[in-house]
C-alpha cells in the first residue's frame, strides 16, 4: 500500500469515527434514562392519581368510548389502549378517520367513573429525551440522518 493511500484511509477512518461517535454518544446518553422511564416517571411525577371508585366496577369499553366522544365533540375516536398499572383507558381521536398523526389527540379516562384523568403539566423530560433519541426533533429526516450515522460507524 502506498503511503498516500494509507494517509487517505487513516484520515477517512479518523473523521468518520469522530463524527459517528458523537452521535453514538448522544444515543447512549439519551437511551439510558429511557430504559428506566417507568421508574424515573414515578419519581419525577410523584402526584399519584387515584381512581374515583377504587373498589367499584369497571365501566364497559362502550361507555368509555361514549365519554371520550363527548369529551372531544366533533372528533372521531380512532384508537383505544389500556394502562397496565391502573384502571385507565387511553382514547386517541382525530377530526377524521384518516387524520395524520399531528392532528390526533390522546386523552386518558378513568375506567371506574369515565372522568378524564389529569395529565402531566409542564415540561416532561422523558418526552424530550425520547424525541431527541429517536429523531433529534426532525421527524423522518432526523431518523434517516441517525441511520446514516450508523452506516458511517460501520465504515
Is 12 a member of any domain? yes
Give the model confidence (pLDDT) of 117-154 as tens digits.
Answer: 887 666 788 889 999 999 999 999 999 999 999 888 88
Q: Give strand pairing partners of 77.
A: 93
Query: Are 69 and 97 in the same domain?
Result: yes
Query: Are 77 and 100 in the same domain?
Result: yes
Is 46 a member of any domain? no
Give the model confidence (pLDDT) of 17-76 as tens digits.
Answer: 898 899 999 999 999 999 998 888 878 776 677 888 888 889 999 999 999 989 888 899
Is 129 a member of any domain? yes
Give the model confidence (pLDDT) of 85-98 as tens digits.
Answer: 888 999 999 999 99
Residue-range definition of the domain harbouring residue 128: 3-36+122-154
Is 130 a member of any domain? yes
Instruction: Determine the straight-line distance between the first and last CA of the chain, rounded to whole angstroms.
Output: 19
Is 52 a member of any domain? no
Cβ-Cβ contacts under 8 Å for 137 (sequence gap 6 or more):
131
pTM over 0.75: no
Query: Are 131 and 102 in the same domain?
Result: no
Phi-psi region of 137 (alpha: psi -120 to 50; beta: other; left: phi over 0): left
Strands 76-82 and 88-94: antiparallel
Say how many domains are in the chain: 2
Place of cell 450508523: 150
Amino acid at each position: 500500500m502506498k503511503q498516500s493511500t494509507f494517509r487517505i484511509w487513516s484520515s477517512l477512518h479518523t473523521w468518520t469515527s469522530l463524527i459517528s461517535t458523537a452521535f453514538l454518544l448522544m444515543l447512549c446518553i439519551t437511551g439510558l434514562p429511557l430504559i428506566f422511564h417507568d421508574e424515573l416517571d414515578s419519581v419525577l411525577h410523584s402526584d399519584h392519581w387515584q381512581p374515583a371508585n377504587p373498589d367499584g366496577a369497571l365501566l364497559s369499553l362502550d361507555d368509555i368510548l361514549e365519554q371520550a366522544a363527548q369529551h372531544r365533540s366533533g372528533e372521531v375516536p380512532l384508537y383505544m389502549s389500556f394502562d397496565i398499572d391502573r384502571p385507565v383507558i387511553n382514547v386517541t381521536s382525530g377530526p377524521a378517520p384518516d387524520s395524520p398523526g399531528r392532528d390526533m389527540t390522546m386523552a386518558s379516562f378513568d375506567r371506574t367513573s369515565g372522568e378524564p384523568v389529569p395529565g402531566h403539566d409542564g415540561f416532561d423530560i422523558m418526552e424530550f429525551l425520547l424525541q431527541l433519541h429517536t429523531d433529534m426533533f426532525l421527524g423522518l429526516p432526523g431518523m434517516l440522518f441517525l441511520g446514516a450515522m450508523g452506516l458511517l460507524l460501520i465504515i
